[in-house]
Amino acid sequence: MAAFKETHFQLPGQTAFYKGKVRDVYTIGNDYLVMVVSDRISAFDVVLPEPIPYKGQVLNQIAAKFLSATQDIVPNWVIDVPDPSVTIGRICEPYKVEMVIRGYLAGHAWREYQAGRRTVCGVSLPDGLQENDKLPEPIITPTTKAAVGHDEDISREDILARGIVSEPDYLQLEKYTKALYQRGTAMAAERGLILVDTKYEFGKTVDGIIVLIDEIHTPDSSRYFYADGYTERQAKQEPQRQLSKEFVRKWLIENGFQGKEGQQIPYMSPEWITIISDRYIELYEQITGDQFVKHHDEHILDRIYNNILKSLNQLSKK
């Protein structure tokens, strides 16, 4: 199975390049960003050593579908999706926070709760909850957006006090986050899924418009449970069937890795890599209702590069 870990393109008009945990981002003049979604996989803010076949395609195509389905709520950065693994969009200034919203007590929030903490990002949680319980209402638990290293929990009060986001903008980000989560929840329900938690990233264009950027409702940014059997499993305190990257995190934890200093990433066997790839494809088909089309390319980077060039050439003529 074909997979690519990184790109090293030199694109026409390229003025900058940024390598994120998963994405390679090329700046074209003052107008466009070319985001190539690689097959890298990260957990605990660490990029794991082996790429996952089709993962980039899964993330990019899910994001494209949901960005299109939510543009009536908030404008987004997308201009073109010229390749299964590429999105081209407008340049904007990203806000230095990620807007995490949780409808259920799972993942990081559960680990904090289990450790005895009843406040997450300044939001109080009631006693007596168990893992994966539905919260009384969705809560927003922002994180700082770290250029390097770990993102950190932060409260709304600290964001405003430190001037990370202005109060009018932050209030608007909260409104968008709640509306997007409501739409995502409804779309997931149509597919027999529960959108447990997710995160959104926003930026501001040069003309002052807040736009939704990056990806939304993908297995890297979201957690899904199967709705069928959810109530019964909670009553029996059994693990939920889920579609997310949490199974990768749990495997790492079981093998002694949580991204902490001195810990070693466990060996990723070919069989385990195939399992991860299959789980990503499963989520794509389950959440979108579309059959996943595997793009078999011996020269995957050539395909991506040529598709980017075609799109940039068309944009230059506009």
* pLDDT-above-90 percentage for the chain: 85
184 close to 198: Cβ distance less than 8 angstroms: yes
Rounded Cα distance between 176 and 154, Å, is: 19
CB hemisphere CA count around 221 (13 angstroms): 25
Average pLDDT over residues 250-257: 94
- What pLDDT score was predicted for residue 148? 55
Q: Which residues pair with 224 in a beta bridge?
A: 195, 243
**Which residues, in sequence order, are CB contacts of 25 under 8 Å at separation 6+?**
17, 18, 19, 33, 34, 35, 36
Range among 169-178, 236-245, 254-263 rated most confident: 169-178
For 263, which DSSP code? -
Helix, strand, coil share of the chain (percent; to 5): 35, 25, 40
Residue 174: which pLDDT band, with cuts at 50, 70 and 90?
very high
Q: In this model, does residue 192 exceed pLDDT 70?
A: yes
pLDDT by residue (tens digit) across 124-154? 999 999 999 999 999 999 999 765 556 789 9
Q: Which residues pair with 42 in a beta bridge?
A: 47
Q: In this model, does residue 298 exceed pLDDT 80?
A: no
Average pLDDT over residues 187-205: 96
Rounded Cα distance between 68 and 141, Å, is: 25
pLDDT by residue (tens digit) across 47-56? 999 999 999 9
Radius of gyration from C-alpha coordinates of the chain? 19
- What pLDDT score was predicted for residue 1? 63
143 close to 120: Cβ distance less than 8 angstroms: no
Average pLDDT over residues 231-251: 92
* Own/partner pairs, 282-286, CB within 8 angstroms, 24+ separation: 282/243, 283/58, 283/62, 283/219, 283/224, 283/243, 283/244, 284/58, 284/61, 284/62, 286/191, 286/192, 286/193, 286/224, 286/243
User: 68-72, 172-176, 219-223, 296-300: lowest mean pLDDT where?
Assistant: 296-300
CA distances from 71 to 33, 67, 206, 213 (A): 19, 6, 19, 11
- What pLDDT score was predicted for residue 246? 81
100 closest CA partner among 130, 69, 135: 135
pTM recorded for the entire structure: 0.88
**Which residues, in sequence order, are CB contacts of 274 under 8 Å at separation 6+?**
1, 53
Average pLDDT over residues 159-165: 96
Average pLDDT over residues 161-177: 97
- What pLDDT score was predicted for residue 317? 86
Average pLDDT over residues 147-165: 86
Tokens 């006693």 belong to residue: 127
Q: In this model, does residue 45 exceed pLDDT 80?
A: yes
- What pLDDT score was predicted for residue 146? 65
User: 15-19, 23-27, 246-250: lowest mean pLDDT where?
Assistant: 246-250
- What pLDDT score was predicted for residue 169? 98
Rounded Cα distance between 309 and 155, Å, is: 42
Rounded Cα distance between 37 and 146, Å, is: 19
CA distances from 144 to 121, 141, 182, 222, 275 (A): 11, 10, 23, 17, 31
Average pLDDT over residues 300-310: 96
pLDDT, the chain, mean = 94
Centre a 10 Å sphere on the Cβ of residue 301 and count the other Cβ atoms it contains: 16
First vs last Cα of the chain: how many Å apart? 38
For 238, which DSSP code? P
Identity of residue 222: S
pLDDT by residue (tens digit) across 105-125? 999 999 999 999 999 999 999
We find that the CATH architecture of domain 94-244 is 2-Layer Sandwich (3.30)
CB hemisphere CA count around 5 (13 angstroms): 6
